[in-house]
């Protein structure tokens, strides 16, 4: 029987490469061969023991190739699947029977991660994307990757790109709006590009100059660095100046709690503040609720996304090939054997965004 290998984290800080028989997909499911798997901030959080999950098959960002589509002949947009087709996968599931799914809030499905947190000793083993193969459950959405898209350009489409697109949509960003993006990491760069395509004027705030340079390359109109504006009050004043008194929409993509009260002061009365970056329970902040109420600022936390944002994201990449520097998104690649190194380098911030690339 054919086997494959996967990277299992038995406890934070350690990774074991394990070998299992390849599972025979059940009806509606699909086995893919991993081409590339992105190392996301939340994988690093798990590895660094800063996440509630303590043991898991690592990885959720993926681009893979269809092996045998007989159990799932089409993607979630109805396109026929063939062996060898490149696909992207919504990494969480919509069970369709919980209270949230029944009410149409499928992104809040109560069983969204059940497939992922299962032990790799149990069928179907390949529940995370750091491995030679990945098992797409029947309640996970899958989309074909357009032919002109490089796998590394799209490896974070199912996480960062789709997530930030859902946030920009929630904020109702439209042509002529001013948008502040706090954080020019993976989420931020996608955020800049998507907001620009919607016709917004985009201001990016970050502490690191080379990240701001990348944001410029993705279309940012203005940047505000911590060097030029070291105090929160300076940054707020600068952003208000650049946005004629405050932005229409702001997105928090830093994962730093203190960015939230700062960002809320960067928007105009009646504006929307989209919270995406802080996803670890236990981050506490102090908010000036009086200022928020007087200015009628709305905070929308956004977690996970409707599958249409992944399909739209893949099409977004496809039509921007040659126009946006997608090769800047991943700055280090590792073979599966070096997964521990990839995690340690990511944790130590020696690399911005790593990806595992499977050789065959
Ligand atoms: Zn991710
Ligand atoms: Zn559900």
Counting ligands in written order, the one closest to the CA of 304 is 1
231 domain residue, yes or no = yes
CB atoms within 10 A of CB 67: 16
Counting ligands in written order, the one closest to the CA of 93 is 2
Rounded average pLDDT over 246-266? 97
> How much is the pLDDT for 179?
98
306 domain residue, yes or no = no
Quick one: pLDDT band at residue 281, thresholds 50, 70, 90? confident
- Same domain assignment for residues 134 and 266: no
Cis peptide before 124 (omega within 30 of 0): yes
Q: Quick check: 260 and 239 in contact, CB under 8 A? A: no
322 domain residue, yes or no = no
CA 63 to chain centre: 13
For ligand 2, the distance from its centroid to the CA atom of residue 115, given in whole angstroms, is 12
- Same domain assignment for residues 147 and 170: no
| Element counts in the chain: helices (H) and strands (E) | 11, 16
- Same domain assignment for residues 111 and 223: no
Q: Express each pLDDT in 218-227 by its tens digit.
A: 999 999 999 9
- Same domain assignment for residues 30 and 130: yes
Q: Is the pTM of this model over 0.75?
A: yes
Number of domains in the chain: 2
Counting ligands in written order, the one closest to the CA of 107 is 2
- Same domain assignment for residues 64 and 186: no
From 257, 283, 301, the end of a domain falls on 301
From 254, 280, 301, the end of a domain falls on 301
Supply the mean pLDDT for the chain: 96
- Same domain assignment for residues 15 and 131: yes
- Same domain assignment for residues 117 and 248: no
For ligand 2, the distance from its centroid to the CA atom of residue 107, given in whole angstroms, is 8
Q: Express each pLDDT in 9-64 by its tens digit.
A: 999 999 999 999 999 999 999 999 999 999 999 999 999 998 888 999 999 999 99
For ligand 2, the distance from its centroid to the CA atom of residue 139, given in whole angstroms, is 9
For ligand 2, the distance from its centroid to the CA atom of residue 108, given in whole angstroms, is 7
205 domain residue, yes or no = yes
For ligand 2, the distance from its centroid to the CA atom of residue 93, given in whole angstroms, is 8
- Same domain assignment for residues 58 and 87: yes
Q: Tell me the DSSP string of 213-250.
A: HHHHHTT-SEEEETTT--SHHHHHHHHHHHTTSSEEEE
318 domain residue, yes or no = no
Identify the domain containing residue 186 by its residue range. 161-301
For ligand 2, the distance from its centroid to the CA atom of residue 26, given in whole angstroms, is 19
For ligand 1, the distance from its centroid to the CA atom of residue 199, given in whole angstroms, is 26
Counting ligands in written order, the one closest to the CA of 279 is 1
CA gyration radius for the chain?
20
For ligand 1, the distance from its centroid to the CA atom of residue 186, given in whole angstroms, is 9
Spatial separation of the C-alpha atoms in residues 181 and 166, rounded to whole Å: 14
Quick one: pLDDT band at residue 103, thresholds 50, 70, 90? very high
The CATH number for 183's domain is 3.40.50.720
- Same domain assignment for residues 178 and 140: no
Spatial separation of the C-alpha atoms in residues 339 and 336, rounded to whole Å: 5
For ligand 2, the distance from its centroid to the CA atom of residue 104, given in whole angstroms, is 9
Q: Quick check: 327 and 152 in contact, CB under 8 A? A: yes
220 domain residue, yes or no = yes
For ligand 1, the distance from its centroid to the CA atom of residue 258, given in whole angstroms, is 22
Counting ligands in written order, the one closest to the CA of 105 is 2
Phi, psi of 249 (to 5 degrees): -145, 140
Q: Is 73 helix (H, G, I), strand (E, B) or coil?
A: coil
Counting ligands in written order, the one closest to the CA of 61 is 1
What's the Cα-to-Cα distance from 336 to each of 133, 210, 333, rounded to whole Å? Answer: 11, 28, 10
- Same domain assignment for residues 16 and 121: yes
- Same domain assignment for residues 7 and 140: yes
For ligand 2, the distance from its centroid to the CA atom of residue 102, given in whole angstroms, is 7
Counting ligands in written order, the one closest to the CA of 129 is 1
For ligand 2, the distance from its centroid to the CA atom of residue 161, given in whole angstroms, is 23
Q: Tell me the DSSP string of 79-113.
A: PBP-TT-EEEE-SS---SSSHHHHTT-GGG-TTTT
Counting ligands in written order, the one closest to the CA of 62 is 1
For ligand 2, the distance from its centroid to the CA atom of residue 231, given in whole angstroms, is 43
- Same domain assignment for residues 9 and 149: yes
Q: Express each pLDDT in 186-224 by its tens digit.
A: 999 999 999 999 999 999 999 999 999 999 999 999 999
Residue 177, pLDDT > 80, answer: yes
Counting ligands in written order, the one closest to the CA of 112 is 2
For ligand 1, the distance from its centroid to the CA atom of residue 289, given in whole angstroms, is 31
The CATH number for 12's domain is 3.90.180.10
Counting ligands in written order, the one closest to the CA of 277 is 1
311 domain residue, yes or no = no
Q: Express each pLDDT in 303-355 by its tens digit.
A: 999 999 999 999 999 999 999 999 989 999 999 999 999 999 999 989 989 99
Counting ligands in written order, the one closest to the CA of 161 is 1
For ligand 1, the distance from its centroid to the CA atom of residue 154, given in whole angstroms, is 12
Residue 360, pLDDT > 70, answer: no
> How much is the pLDDT for 51?
87
For ligand 1, the distance from its centroid to the CA atom of residue 203, given in whole angstroms, is 24
Q: Express each pLDDT in 113-167 by its tens digit.
A: 988 888 999 999 999 999 999 999 999 999 999 999 999 999 999 999 999 999 9
Counting ligands in written order, the one closest to the CA of 104 is 2
204 domain residue, yes or no = yes
From 301, 320, 343, the end of a domain falls on 301
């Amino acid at each position: 029987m054919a086997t494959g290998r996967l990277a299992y984290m038995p406890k934070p800080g350690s990774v074991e490469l394990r070998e299992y028989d390849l599972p025979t997909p059940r009806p509606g499911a699909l086995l893919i061969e991993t081409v590339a798997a992105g190392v996301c901030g939340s994988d690093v959080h798990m590895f660094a023991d800063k996440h509630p999950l303590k043991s898991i098959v690592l990885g959720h960002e993926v681009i893979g190739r269809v092996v045998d589509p007989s159990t799932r002949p089409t993607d979630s947009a109805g396109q026929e699947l063939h062996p060898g087709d490149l696909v992207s996968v919504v990494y969480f599931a919509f069970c369709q029977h919980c209270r949230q799914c029944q009410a149409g809030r499928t992104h809040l499905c109560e069983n969204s991660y059940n497939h992922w947190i299962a032990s790799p000793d149990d069928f179907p083993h390949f529940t995370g994307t750091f491995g030679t193969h990945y098992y797409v459950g029947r309640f996970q959405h899958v989309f074909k990757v357009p032919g002109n898209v490089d796998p590394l350009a799209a490896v974070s489409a199912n996480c960062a790109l789709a997530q930030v697109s859902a946030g920009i949509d929630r904020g109702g960003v439209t042509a002529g709006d001013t948008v502040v993006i706090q954080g020019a990491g993976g989420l931020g760069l996608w955020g800049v590009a998507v907001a620009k395509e919607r016709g917004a004027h985009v201001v990016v705030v970050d502490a690191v100059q080379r990240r701001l340079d990348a944001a410029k390359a993705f279309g940012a109109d203005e940047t505000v660095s911590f060097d030029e504006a070291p105090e929160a009050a300076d940054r707020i004043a600068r952003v208000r100046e650049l946005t004629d008194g405050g932005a229409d929409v702001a997105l928090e993509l830093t994962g730093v709690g203190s960015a939230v009260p700062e960002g809320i002061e960067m928007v105009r009365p009646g504006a929307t503040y989209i919270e995406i970056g802080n996803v670890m329970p236990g981050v506490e902040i102090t908010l000036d609720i009086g200022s928020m109420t007087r200015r009628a600022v709305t905070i929308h936390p956004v977690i996970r996304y409707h599958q249409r944002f992944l399909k739209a994201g893949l099409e977004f990449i496809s039509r921007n090939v040659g126009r946006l520097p997608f090769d800047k998104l991943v700055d280090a690649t590792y073979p599966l054997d070096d997964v521990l190194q990839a995690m340690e380098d990511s944790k130590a911030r020696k690399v911005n965004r790593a990806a595992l690339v499977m050789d065959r």
